[in-house]
Amino acid sequence: MSKGKILLTGAAGYIGSHTWVELCQAGYDVVGVDNFYNSERDVIGRIGKILGKPVTLEEADCSDFGSFSKVFEKHPDIVGAVHFAAYKAVGESIEKPLDYYKNNITSLLNLITLMKDKSLRANIVFSSSCTVYGQPDKEHLPIAEDAPLKRSLSPYGKSKQMAEEILSDSVIAYPELKVCALRYFNPIGAHPSALIGELPRGVPQNLVPFVTQTAAGIRDHLNVFGDDYNTPDGSCIRDYIYVVDLAKAHVKAIDKLVGETEVHPVDQTDEPTYVDAAKTGRWYIYNLGTGRGLSVLELVKGFMKATGVNLPYQIAPRRQGDIEQVWADPKKAEKELGWKADTPIEEVLRSAWNWQKTL
């Protein structure tokens, strides 16, 4: 028996496609929505191949209310949504801020409106990002959910901060709404089937796609941006999380929101009219990372060891706007969602390489 129908926006994208597989394998029905702005149509057939059954994709633009609302008219029995649909290129967002705010914010406003007005139950899981923390102060590392949010350095990052504000204000105003914001650290790797993975357009900006393209001979070498940071080997530190582990966290978040029938608001003694969203008992934030920081040089060496493939690299100047080091404290997600990222990094890097070899 199905555990319920879940709407996935941006379902054909990198994280969406992996989450689609995990949700179906956990017993949910999934309706995917995508406008294929940053994904390929054949991903849908590939997801079907992994699952061994046809899957449902409604082509629509979430930033267009008319187009998006038709999905809800066709599927009035949606009990939860995972909202991935957004533009995500940090550099591009600085050049085209209005495109980013229009797509990322309007899509979210439409989703909240449609979920509360047209779905069976208004449960939303939102794709947020560790970018909301900016460069955390050293005393906040590893970074927990209650660390201060710093001013974001790009319209993309700001769109995630704004989205969290919009969602938390909506939870306060609309009692039917329950939201889980998931702050992803650096998702990498591909499905073990090598049927789905990351599809960067043009020259990859992110580290792992650049690494795999270099290993495949598409690029002649990798530039390691900076070896003079205040870190043990001088290169930047990040928390690289396997995309399949990340996808599984969405299943746990949906289980939590859909499975909870009762809400337990935190006691309000002086009845303020506008409260902290967390006090409603319908607003959750979780960091999704491994809890382990890895430097660029460690990742590069780890890739060569895991795959046996040589990776030419050079030390290059620092990349403007890079954060020196950030990694997650994922204990809250472990405690409250029962989720932990546990795939060994060698296996993750091999999955990225196996996917690259199919491209």
Active site residues: 156
Task: Give least dist CB 348 to ligand NAD, A.
Answer: 14
Answer yes or no whether residue 187 interacts with ligand NAD by CB under 6 A.
yes
The binder of 84, among ligand WQD, ligand NAD, none, by C-beta within 5 to 8 A per type, is: ligand NAD
Task: Give least dist CB 268 to ligand NAD, A.
Answer: 33
Task: Give least dist CB 192 to ligand WQD, A.
Answer: 22
Segment near ligand NAD (CB under 6 A), from 4-12, 293-301, 302-310, 315-323? 4-12
d(CA 182, CA 263): 20
Q: Looking at residue 348, what DSSP letter applies?
A: H
The binder of 61, among ligand NAD, ligand WQD, none, by C-beta within 5 to 8 A per type, is: ligand NAD
The binder of 325, among ligand WQD, ligand NAD, none, by C-beta within 5 to 8 A per type, is: none
b/e for 206-221, b at 16 or more Cβ within 10 A?
ebbbbbbbbbeeebee
Segment near ligand NAD (CB under 6 A), from 58-66, 132-140, 271-279, 335-343? 58-66
Residue linked to tokens 């949906």? 254
Residue linked to tokens 């939201």? 179
d(CA 109, CA 125): 14
The binder of 16, among ligand NAD, ligand WQD, none, by C-beta within 5 to 8 A per type, is: ligand NAD
Answer yes or no whether residue 250 interacts with ligand NAD by CB under 6 A.
no
Answer yes or no whether residue 214 interacts with ligand WQD by CB under 6 A.
no
How many C-beta atoms surround the C-beta of residue 191 within 10 A?
21
Answer yes or no whether residue 203 interacts with ligand WQD by CB under 6 A.
no
Answer yes or no whether residue 35 interacts with ligand NAD by CB under 6 A.
yes
Angle at 242 between CA 260 and CA 232, to 5 degrees: 120
Nearer to ligand NAD, 227 or 322 (CB): 322
Answer yes or no whether residue 212 interacts with ligand NAD by CB under 6 A.
no
Among 24, 57, 86, 224, binds ligand NAD (CB under 6 A): 86
The tokens of 159 are what? 């769109």
How many C-beta atoms surround the C-beta of residue 192 within 10 A?
14
Residue closest to 326 by CA, chosen among 232, 233, 240, 234: 240
Chain centroid to CA 352: how far?
Answer: 17
Answer yes or no whether residue 296 interacts with ligand WQD by CB under 6 A.
yes
Binding residue count for ligand WQD, defined by CB under 6 A: 18
Answer yes or no whether residue 59 interacts with ligand WQD by CB under 6 A.
no
| Amino acid occupying residue 356 | Q
How many C-beta atoms surround the C-beta of residue 314 within 10 A?
9
Among 58, 61, 164, 255, binds ligand NAD (CB under 6 A): 61
Whether the CB-CB separation of 190 and 243 falls below 8 Å is answered with yes
Whether the CB-CB separation of 177 and 170 falls below 8 Å is answered with yes
Answer yes or no whether residue 207 interacts with ligand WQD by CB under 6 A.
yes
Burial environment of residue 262 by CB neighbours within 10 A (0 to 12, 13 to 18, 19 or more)? exposed
Answer yes or no whether residue 154 interacts with ligand NAD by CB under 6 A.
no
Segment near ligand WQD (CB under 6 A), from 26-34, 42-50, 222-230, 283-291? 222-230
